[in-house]
Amino acid sequence: LPAPFWVLGIFLVGFFFLSRRSLNSTVASTLVVTTMNLSLAVIIPLFALPYVQPANLAYVNLPFVGDQPFNPAPFLLIFGVMLNNYFSHLMVANYGKVVIRRDPSARSWIWGVIAAIGLTTLISCWWVVLAG
């Protein structure tokens, strides 16, 4: 299917959950989408793993050193991964009010957030090294 049809489908699913006006369904749909995204972020680089050569991981090409021109392509990949990790922190504040009602001390929430952000950071580094 062409990309516009995929975007339209995702938009309609999101619109359906928003029309229900329930934060629980929004949280559940976010968890499903996040699980799918993280699964793909782990699985797709596994296809590249047989082609990884240690010599390529040790290669250094610094811009403006010697006669090397500036190539923005690697920085765009790293910048995209950094933005993804940054915006995942916003979800903590959005869903905190639901969790704190159930756990007023929020200790499990805090440790869960630390574990989740740490794991997504490791998965993002995995993606940059193997897919980049």
In this predicted structure, what is the pLDDT of residue 55?
81
Which residues, other chains included, contact 48 with Cβ-Cβ below 8 Å and sequence gap of 6+? Answer: 130, 131
Which residues, other chains included, contact 49 with Cβ-Cβ below 8 Å and sequence gap of 6+? Answer: 130
In this predicted structure, what is the pLDDT of residue 131?
67
In this predicted structure, what is the pLDDT of residue 44?
83
Which two three-digit tokens encode residue 16?
Answer: 């359906």
In this predicted structure, what is the pLDDT of residue 99?
77
Tell me if residue 52 falls in helix, strand or coil: coil
Mean pLDDT for each 10-residue chunk of the chain (132 residues)? Answer: 87 80 70 82 83 78 76 77 73 74 82 84 79 64
